[in-house]
Each structure stands twice: as structure tokens, then as C-alpha cells.
Amino acid sequence: MSTLKVFTDLQTSPELIDWLRESIAPHELLLPGKTGASVLADVPTDPLMQEADIVLGQPRVDAVLSSQNLKWLQVSTAGFTRYDTQDFRAAVKDRGIPVTNSSHVYDDACAEHVFAFMLANARQLPRGLKTRCANGAPEWLELRRDSRLLQGQSLLIVGYGAIAERLIELLAPFRMKITAMRRTRRGDEKVPIVTPDEVSAALGEADHVINILPDNAESLRWFNAERFAQMKQGAIFHNIGRGTTVNQEALAEALQSGRLGAAWLDVTDPEPLPDDHVLWTLENCYITPHTAGGQFDEARVLIRHFIENFARYQAGEKLVNQVM
Amino acid sequence: MSTLKVFTDLQTSPELIDWLRESIAPHELLLPGKTGASVLADVPTDPLMQEADIVLGQPRVDAVLSSQNLKWLQVSTAGFTRYDTQDFRAAVKDRGIPVTNSSHVYDDACAEHVFAFMLANARQLPRGLKTRCANGAPEWLELRRDSRLLQGQSLLIVGYGAIAERLIELLAPFRMKITAMRRTRRGDEKVPIVTPDEVSAALGEADHVINILPDNAESLRWFNAERFAQMKQGAIFHNIGRGTTVNQEALAEALQSGRLGAAWLDVTDPEPLPDDHVLWTLENCYITPHTAGGQFDEARVLIRHFIENFARYQAGEKLVNQVM
């Protein structure tokens, strides 16, 4: 195999870039002149990308489509909305370019983040952390009474993939009653599956509903007023997928009416929400700023994921996290 | 067996009191004229208690010692500090009065509460919940970088009992490196045990240290400046035991110096801390107001625990949670 040119727009330390360079040698690493501010921002195309055989990062769609030598694209996030169009899929299929994402890098962190949401809610942490009261005071009795055990509660996961599978493993000792929604039942899932046609009943039975839907035409505002109305009174809604999959006005109404007990959101639409958005004003709405996938040494894990896939690529093996 | 008189000072609903009465019939339930404000408050002695064969609740020490007919005391908490003296132990031993506590009722809730502390810390929830920022902003990058995986971290549990055992079960899928300290190694523990003599090295290796020490003469201010200095730089300290087991000035210093990364406390000394206490002012000190054992339907679980023990008592079987 001749020398491959690997282009990355990853923002990280010189040490990690050196590690990447050494790990792929004798193949060549190309770096852009100027990096973007975020892995999620739409960075301008670097001319060097056009020469690359392999790209790791977040290239512009037009840059991918106009590239001359591209043989493989690894997206450095779990989400890949910008590439998920019929045109793009047709183009990469036509040119035989596999597209992989980095979902493995984020599975553990996302699963732990939503687990933290569920436990913080069960144990009433935000309220407890701002309550100063004596043992026996009325607010103390109320806080203790509102605290719950997560063990034995029921959970519906909407969007069954690697994050859901990891979460199910982590939750095992809690003996929760877990169901998941998936477009098509494959038969190898770790929990009972409902399809979208069958989801109403499942929505009505869950103490916790976790949204991990990806962002696409089908999922747009999937959680709407009708779906919230189908949920169990007092259910807790979590979103670690994408903000676009939720009708936020309907969510706010469900939180205000008491239909939902609380919402824990790591994603919104847009991010961040405008300062005057109603969701900021609701006491039972908890928002973290899209940090569910974050982890100490995230860049190292991301690069290791690429290096491992690069070895598979060179060996002609099946790539991990191939999405197109 | 003749009719037994069961006295309880439990504060709960008439329905639950009726359930208790029916469950122990034909034995007799005695209730005080006026209940205390809290299960932890030192309620005045009720004259009816003096007639009781069995007491469920939080009777005064002198009332227990002066009781004429007492044959069994079940304390309605996990802690039983007020009774844990040589004199009291000698007196109940002498009179053949078994003393049980209600630790089983609180094991699950306490284990979940400290699990919530650990995950909230790993995922930086308190900070995330008050951060509004755009993807890619400096504070966003910093927050993601400071977020951790709990998986694979190390944990030292100081005080090995039922709560520790439950926590170890719940944490199993996180594959943490767990060690526990116990006065005497018994050999049937679920994790490697260190004795107090051997604890220094273990303190120096743990990412998380959980304090579940009971309140007694030996544990008074057990966590002092020397012990905090032995901990790993940046370690997270959790306390769901008793506030008296910690030297709070030393804790504040360790938090201020950065020796400890954060402290998560459900118990303090006193409770609540005075409004001008330094621990309220530290950004890396998180305090819930002694709610770790709290749970929806706590009183029902407490009464069920008593009813089950009452059946064992009548059958002459070994009581659960016997502490004296």
C-alpha cells in the first residue's frame, strides 16, 4: 500500500497530534493551517483536505463531495447529521467511501451522564443541595419523602443503539424494568423492544423516558404534545440525543401542567437556549450544556478510536462504527 | 405466649398505624399521647412506654433503663449512637433485652444517595446545571474536559457494613477498584479489606473515599488533618455516616488547599451547620441535609421491617439487624 495522507481538523494538544502522527507512520499526517473553535462548528475547508486519502474530524459536506482522493471519512462525533442526507449517502456509496463515526468514544460518558441524571432526580440532589434545614423540619420530612429509590423503577429508552446497550449494562444491579424503542426489532437486543407503532403503551408505563434519538427527518420533534400526553403522570424525561427531536413548547407545557415530574436535558434547540426561553424558568427543568459526551482525555480516546480503525482499514477489515 | 404490648413513637399516617396494629394483632399497640417532631429528636418519655414489652422507635435512654417490662427494643434508624455506651450495653445485656436497629430500611437509599454523589461529581452536574454556554466556548471545553468516567476509578469505603455491601453490588458494572476499611477482617467481605492500621496506603490510592463510620468514641473526628493529608491529590470525599466522625475545620482546609477535589456530605456536626460556617462558602463542598436514608414510603418500609422482625421474635428466631 502506498503512503496515505491522513487529514485531521481535530483540536488538541501537540502531544496528542504527535502521538497520532507516530501511530500512523509511515503514512502522512496533514493538519489545517487554522483550527475551528469546536468539533461541532462548521469550520472552513482547508485546501490540504482536498489532497487527503483519509479524513478524521468534521469536514464540510461540500469539501467531502469535492475531494479528489478521499477513501474513508471518520467523523469525530457520535452525531453525523450534516452528512445524513440522501444525496450525501448516494455520493459516498457511489464513490465507495466508507463513513465511520466516533460513537464508541462517547457511549460510556453519555450512558454515565444520563445515569447521573436519573440518580440525581431519584435522590433529589438539586433540591437537597440548596436546602438548609434541621432534621425533623417540615421541609426535611418533605424532601426525604420525595426522595426515591431508582431500583425497581421502570424505564423506556427511545433510540436503541450503543449508548442504550451500555446504559442497560450499567443499570443491571438496579433491576429496573427496561424497554426500548427501535425502528426495527432485530432480535438480539438486551431488553424487550417496541417499534414506533407500539410505543404509546410503553410511554404510559415508564417512570423514566430517555431520548437518545439521532437527528434526522424522521425524528424531528418526535417528542410532541401527543407523546408527552401519553406519558405516565409524573414521569421523568431525559434527553441526551439531539435537541431537534423535541417540541420544546410542548415539553414546557407538560412540565408546567405536572404531566411530567421533571426534565433533564443535555441537548436543546438551539444550544444554548435564548436567555428568555421558558425552559430556563421552570424549576423542574434541569439543563447541562451538551456535556454528556465529555470526558477527561476525550481527545486521547478519540484518537485511539481512530488509530484502531486505521489498523483495521490497512488490514482490509471491517471498520468499527461504520454508518454509511 | 400472652398478649404483648408494643409501644411505638413512630410519626406516620393513621393508615400505616392501623396496618401495624392489624399486623401484630392480637397483640396490643400502644401509642404516645403526643409525638415528637422527628425520628431523630429526643422526645419526652411517654408513661405508656413503661408498660411496653416491645418498643419500636427512639425512646430516651433513661426510659429504656427504667422500663419494667421491656423485652426487645427496635430502634427506627440505622444509627443508634445514644444507646451505644458501655453502661447501656451492659444494662440490656444484663436484662436480656435484644436491641435491633432499622439499618436494612436505609441501606438501599443510602447506597443510592452516595452513588448519586459520585456520578454527579464525575459528570460535574452542579457546575453543568448552572453553566449556559455555546458548544465550543472556552468554559464548554473546560467543563467537558473536567467531566470524568466513574468507570475504572478507585474507591475506598471507610466503614464496612450493609450499606457498603449494597453499594458494592450496585457499582459492579462500573468495574471500580474498591477497597474497604473494617476494624476486624472477617474473611467473607466482597472486596479487599484493610484494617485501621493499614489504612494510610489505601487512603493515598483512592479517587473517592466514602465515610460510613458509625458515631462512637473510636470514630470521633476520625477524619482529621492527618488523614486528609494522606489522601490522593484531588480525591473526592463523601460522608453518609455521621458528622461527628469528621474534623470539619481540617476538611475545610483540605478543600481550600486543593488536596481534596470536592466533598459531598449528607451529614455534618451540627445539622444544619450554622449559617456562617466555612463549609457553606466553599464551591467544592456539596451538602444535602441528612436525606440519604430518605425514601418515598419510608415509614411503610420501616414498619414492614418491624413486622418481619416481630414474626421472628414470636417464633423465637434470630432477629435481623441485632446490634446488642
Nearest to B170 among A40, A174, A294 (CB): A174
DSSP SS3 for A103: helix
Q: How far apart are CA B177 and CA B45, in angstroms?
A: 47
Catalytic residue among A28, A189, A205, A271: A271
Q: How far apart are CA A240 and CA A288, in angstroms?
A: 10
At residue A78, the pLDDT reads 86
Q: Which stretch of DSSP H or E encloses residue A270?
A: none
Q: Hey, of A135, A142, A265, which one would you mutate to test binding to chain B, going by the most B CBs within 10 A of its CB?
A: A135
Nearest to A136 among B41, B146, B296 (CB): B41
Provide the residue type at B220 as one letter: L
What mean pLDDT value characterizes chain B? Answer: 93
Nearest chain A CA: its distance from B114 CA (Å): 9
Place of cell 423542574: A284
Q: How far apart are CA A260 and CA A238, in angstroms?
A: 11
With CA atoms as reference, the chain A residue closest to B287 would be: A129
At residue A1, the pLDDT reads 59
Name residues 127-156 of chain A within 8 A of B (Cβ): 128-129, 131-137, 140-141, 143-151
- What average pLDDT does this structure show over B146-156? 95
- What average pLDDT does this structure show over A15-34? 92
A271 is catalytic: yes
Q: How far does CA A280 lie from the centroid of its chain?
A: 21
With CA atoms as reference, the chain A residue closest to B152 would be: A108
A289 touches chain B (CB under 8 A): yes
Condensed to tens digits (0 to 9), the pLDDT of residues A26-85 reads 999 999 875 444 445 555 667 888 899 999 999 999 999 999 899 999 999 988 999 999
DSSP SS3 for A309: helix
Enumerate the residues of chain B whose CB falls inside 8 A of the CB of residue A275.
132
Nearest to A289 among B123, B133, B148 (CB): B133
pLDDT at B43 > cutoff 60: no
What nine digits make up the cell of A251? 415539553
A99 touches chain B (CB under 8 A): no
B176 vs A107, B34, B193, CA distance in Å? 18, 48, 15
Please, which residues have CB within 8 angstroms of residue A87's CB and are 6 or more apart in sequence? none
Percentage, residues of chain B above pLDDT 90: 87
pLDDT band at B48 (very low <50, low <70, confident <90, very high): confident
Condensed to tens digits (0 to 9), the pLDDT of residues B171-182 reads 999 999 999 999
Q: Hey, of B42, B129, B236, B276, which one would you mutate to test binding to chain A, going by the most A CBs within 10 A of its CB?
A: B129
Q: How far apart are CA A239 and CA B253, in angstroms?
A: 38
DSSP conformation letters of B192-222: -EE-GGGHHHHHHH-SEEEE----SGGGTT-
Nearest chain A CA: its distance from B287 CA (Å): 5
Short-list B277, B279, B275, B276, CA closest to B255: B279
Cβ within 8 Å, pair A38-B113: no
Name residues 157-216 of chain B within 8 A of A (Cβ): 169-174
Asked whether A24 and A6 are in contact (CB, 8 A), the reply is yes
pLDDT at A258 > cutoff 90: yes
- What average pLDDT does this structure show over B263-283? 97
Name residues 257-286 of chain B within 8 A of A (Cβ): 271-273, 275, 280, 286
Nearest to B125 among A120, A145, A172 (CB): A120
Asked whether B38 and B12 are in contact (CB, 8 A), the reply is no
Condensed to tens digits (0 to 9), the pLDDT of residues B2-12 reads 899 999 999 88
Enumerate the residues of chain A whose CB falls inside 8 A of the CB of residue B286.
129
A89 is catalytic: no
Cβ within 8 Å, pair B149-A120: no
B150 vs A4, A8, A71, B239, CA distance in Å? 38, 29, 37, 18
Q: Following CA atoms B239, B241, B244, B249 in sequence, which dihedral angle do they give, to the nearest 10 degrees?
A: 0
pLDDT at A10 > cutoff 60: yes
Length of chain A (residues): 324
A300 is catalytic: no
For chain A, the structural domain boundaries read: 5-101+296-314, 107-287
Enumerate the residues of chain A whose CB falls inside 8 A of the CB of residue B148.
295-296
Domains B5-101+296-315 and B106-287 are alike in CATH topology: yes
DSSP SS3 for B247: coil
> How big is the CA angle at A246 (ends A233 and A298), to the nearest 5 degrees?
110
DSSP state of A49: G
Asked whether A236 and A259 are in contact (CB, 8 A), the reply is no
Cβ within 8 Å, pair A38-B136: yes
Nearest to A119 among B112, B128, B147 (CB): B112
DSSP SS3 for A247: coil
- What average pLDDT does this structure show over B193-208? 97
Cβ within 8 Å, pair B123-A290: no
Cβ within 8 Å, pair B128-A291: yes
pLDDT band at B33 (very low <50, low <70, confident <90, very high): confident
Residue B287, strand partner residues = B265
Asked whether B115 and B92 are in contact (CB, 8 A), the reply is no
Cβ within 8 Å, pair A125-B116: yes
Q: In what order do the strands lie in the sheet with B285-287?
A: B193-194, B177-181, B154-158, B208-211, B235-239, B260-265, B285-287
Enumerate the residues of chain B whose CB falls inside 8 A of the CB of residue A287.
129
Asked whether B256 and B233 are in contact (CB, 8 A), the reply is no
pLDDT band at A2 (very low <50, low <70, confident <90, very high): confident
Domain B5-101+296-315, architecture per CATH: 3-Layer(aba) Sandwich (3.40)
Nearest chain B CA: its distance from A277 CA (Å): 12
pLDDT at A219 > cutoff 60: yes
Nearest to B123 among A113, A123, A171 (CB): A113
Condensed to tens digits (0 to 9), the pLDDT of residues A94-141 reads 999 999 999 889 999 999 999 999 999 999 999 999 999 999 899 999
At residue A111, the pLDDT reads 97
Q: At what angle do helices A14-24 and A298-314 cross, to 10 degrees?
A: 10
pLDDT band at B37 (very low <50, low <70, confident <90, very high): very low
Place of cell 436494612: B104
Cis, bond preceding B272 (omega within 30 deg of 0): yes
What nine digits make up the cell of A35? 483550527
Q: At what angle do helices B298-315 and B14-24 cross, to 10 degrees?
A: 10
What mean pLDDT value characterizes chain A? Answer: 93
pLDDT at B45 > cutoff 80: no
Name residues 110-129 of chain B within 8 A of A (Cβ): 112-113, 115-117, 119-120, 122-126, 128-129
Catalytic residue among B271, B277, B298, B304: B271
pLDDT at A201 > cutoff 80: yes
At residue A36, the pLDDT reads 45
Please, which residues have CB within 8 angstroms of residue A251's CB and are 6 or more apart in sequence? A223, A228, A237, A260, A263, A279
At residue A37, the pLDDT reads 45
Place of cell 464551591: B283
Within 10 angstroms of residue A250's Cβ, the number of other Cβ atoms is 17
Residue B75, strand partner residues = B57
Enumerate the residues of chain B whose CB falls inside 8 A of the CB of residue A286.
129
The count of C-alpha atoms lying within 13 angstroms of the C-alpha of B322, restricted to the half-sphere facing its C-beta, is: 16
Asked whether A119 and A236 are in contact (CB, 8 A), the reply is no
**In chain B, what is the greatest distance between 2 CA atoms, to the nearest angstrom?**
75
Condensed to tens digits (0 to 9), the pLDDT of residues B221-244 reads 999 999 999 999 999 999 999 999
A90 touches chain B (CB under 8 A): no
What nine digits make up the cell of A138? 417540615
The count of C-alpha atoms lying within 13 angstroms of the C-alpha of A289, restricted to the half-sphere facing its C-beta, is: 23
Condensed to tens digits (0 to 9), the pLDDT of residues A276-308 reads 999 999 999 999 999 999 998 888 999 999 999
Asked whether A158 and A199 are in contact (CB, 8 A), the reply is yes
With CA atoms as reference, the chain B residue closest to A166 would be: B173
Name residues 29-48 of chain B within 8 A of A (Cβ): 36-41
Catalytic residue among B166, B208, B227, B242: B242
**In chain A, what is the greatest distance between 2 CA atoms, to the nearest angstrom?**
75
- The domain made up of B106-287 has a fold known as Rossmann fold (3.40.50)
At residue A34, the pLDDT reads 57
pLDDT at B124 > cutoff 60: yes
Q: How far apart are CA B9 and CA B60, in angstroms?
A: 11
**CATH class given for the domain over A107-287:** alpha beta
At residue A192, the pLDDT reads 97
Q: In what order do the strands lie in the sheet with A72-75?
A: A28-30, A5-8, A54-57, A72-75, A99-100
pLDDT at A178 > cutoff 50: yes
Place of cell 473553535: A37
A5-101+296-314: in CATH 3.90.226.10: no
